[in-house]
Amino acid sequence: MELEGVVWAFSLTLLAGLATGVGSILAFFTSNTNTKFLSWALGFSAGVMIYVSMVEIFVKAQDSLVGELGETSGSWLTVIGFFAGMILIALIDKFIPKQGNPHELKKVEDMNKNPNGDESLLKMGTFTALAIGIHNFPEGIATFTAALQDPSLGVAIAVAIAIHNIPEGIAVSVPIYFSTGDKKKAFKLSFLSGLAEPIGAIAAFLFLMPFLSEVLFGMIFAAVAGIMVFISLDELLPAAKKYDEAHTSIYGLITGMAVMALSLLLFI
């Protein structure tokens, strides 16, 4: 394993995670939420993640497992790994407290309301930061392992995850600022929630990479595909539809798939 590849994979994961801070900054320096663009961008992100998961990541996982274990066992294990990834992220969702649900959408306009010191809002914002951090941990593993295996694939995944981290940053910043009036505190918690992604990358490097074999790689990649599809269907598309204007999210979805398909063809 080359050091340069590890540094590149970690850098992509770090940048994707810190996009939560970008969301926080946007909340401070813009007066209105561009719902049309946000809907398109979230749809685009979902399109990239769904297409690359099913067409590229799942196939690479299956190739590795079939090559090592044979057609029947390899195919079964790929499907098991795929749904195991879905179950993992679904369990994370299930055990996150409702007041910290990162799917709760916030708008930039809410930042312009006068802070009122509401302790319940501070608690909600803190729980949201924690919930997003928990969500971001497996996303960090996904980005890191994908970038390590295929740098161009890692870029696509990192961009898609970064886009969907932006509204999550807003979701942390709005309630914390509204309860405290402290922009620094709102930004800090938003920023910290994104650090869970590079922490996930470090965990993958320390605990998975030393034991990496074709079988383990195949299982990880299958699970990564499942995680990304679940996030797209459960998180990105519902959020995009809430911001939606006249099928904008679907146009973004199709564009994301088309861009991902074109980029994969160009690297054949």
101 appears as a binding residue in the annotation: no
Q: Rg of the chain over CA atoms, in angstroms? A: 19
165 appears as a binding residue in the annotation: yes
Taking the C-alpha atoms of residue 90 and residue 153, their distance in angstroms, rounded to an integer, is 24
197 appears as a binding residue in the annotation: yes
245 appears as a binding residue in the annotation: no
* Residue whose C-alpha is closest to residue 123's, from 70, 178, 77, 160: 178
Residue 259 structure tokens: 């861009």
* Residue whose C-alpha is closest to residue 217's, from 83, 71, 62: 62
* Residue whose C-alpha is closest to residue 54's, from 188, 212, 177, 233: 233
Taking the C-alpha atoms of residue 222 and residue 70, their distance in angstroms, rounded to an integer, is 16
Annotated binding-site members: 136, 139, 164-165, 168, 197
Annotated binding-site members for Fe(2+): 136, 139, 165, 168, 197
Annotated binding-site members for Zn(2+): 139, 164, 168
